[in-house]
């Protein structure tokens, strides 16, 4: 079982985290991921500027996905159940080091990452290019950065039901659905013996 997140940050700590996140420098990129300019995260959010992000799904040996509830102070999808860990890449940061950093910051673990390929996502207010990874890990997990307020394991076979019954960020849903194999197409033209 994942370790329970601590009681959470104080109001002053939350204000510091929000201010630090807003001041973070990020790359505004084109649809190919080429840097256009360096901006603050606040400018990126205010202008809905395309940026680079990484996603890391954490699975255990029983094919359960570690999902987590986002803190209410997060700048996008506050309070939603996230299916993957991850975040915005730092300026000049390569994909895999960014994924390792995010996994350590958000879940308190290091692990082997398996590259699942590129991600492109656009919705009102957000545009990104990214990379998706899977990490097999049993924990223990540590959620001390204040970004995670609750966690649970979800069997991959029950992921669609979890998504249908919880608020989930749409980009998180997009990448996590890659973990669930498509059911075989039913051939209605099959002949009977």
User: What would the pLDDT profile of 72-82 be if each residue is shown by its tens digit?
Assistant: 988 788 999 99
Q: Does residue 110 lie in a domain region?
A: yes
Paired tokens of 145 = 């950065």
Q: What are phi and psi of 92, to 5 degrees?
A: 75, 0
Q: Does residue 189 lie in a domain region?
A: no
Q: Does residue 113 lie in a domain region?
A: yes
Which CA distances in Å does 1 have to 79, 169, 173? Answer: 21, 23, 23
Q: Does residue 20 lie in a domain region?
A: yes
Look at residue 60 in the predicted model and tell me its pLDDT.
98
Chain mean pLDDT for the chain: 89
Look at residue 76 in the predicted model and tell me its pLDDT.
83
Q: Which domain holds residue 65?
A: 11-177
| 65 DSSP 8-state letter | E
Q: Does residue 184 lie in a domain region?
A: no
Look at residue 191 in the predicted model and tell me its pLDDT.
46
Rounded to whole angstroms, the Cα distance separating 188 from 24 reads 54
User: What would the pLDDT profile of 163-189 be if each residue is shown by its tens digit?
Assistant: 999 999 999 999 999 999 776 666 555
User: What would the pLDDT profile of 5-56 be if each residue is shown by its tens digit?
Assistant: 555 556 776 677 777 778 889 999 999 999 999 999 999 999 999 999 999 9
Q: Does residue 146 lie in a domain region?
A: yes
- State the total domains in the chain: 1
Residue 44: closest CA among 75, 16, 78: 75
Domain with 163 in it: what CATH number?
Answer: 3.90.79.10
Q: Tell me how crowded residue 137 is: count the other CB atoms within 10 A of its CB.
A: 19
Paired tokens of 85 = 């860990």
Q: Does residue 131 lie in a domain region?
A: yes
């Amino acid at each position: 079982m994942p370790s329970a997140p601590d009681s959470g940050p104080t109001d002053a700590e939350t204000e510091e985290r929000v201010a630090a996140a807003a001041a973070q420098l990020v790359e505004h990129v084109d649809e190919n991921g080429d840097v256009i300019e360096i901006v603050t995260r606040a400018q990126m959010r205010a202008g809905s500027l395309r940026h680079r992000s990484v996603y890391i799904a954490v699975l255990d040996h029983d094919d359960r996905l570690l999902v987590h509830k986002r803190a209410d102070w997060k700048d996008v999808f506050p309070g939603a159940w996230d299916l993957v860990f991850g975040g915005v890449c730092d300026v000049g940061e390569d994909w895999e080091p960014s994924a390792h950093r995010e996994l350590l910051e958000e879940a308190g673990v290091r692990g082997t990452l398996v590259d699942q390929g590129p991600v492109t996502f656009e919705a009102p207010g957000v545009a990104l290019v990214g990379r998706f990874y899977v990490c097999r890990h049993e924990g223990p997990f540590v959620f001390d950065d204040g970004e995670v307020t609750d966690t649970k394991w979800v069997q991959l076979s029950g992921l669609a039901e979890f998504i249908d019954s919880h608020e989930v960020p749409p980009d998180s849903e997009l990448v996590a659905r890659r973990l669930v194999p498509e059911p075989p197409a039913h051939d209605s033209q099959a002949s009977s013996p």
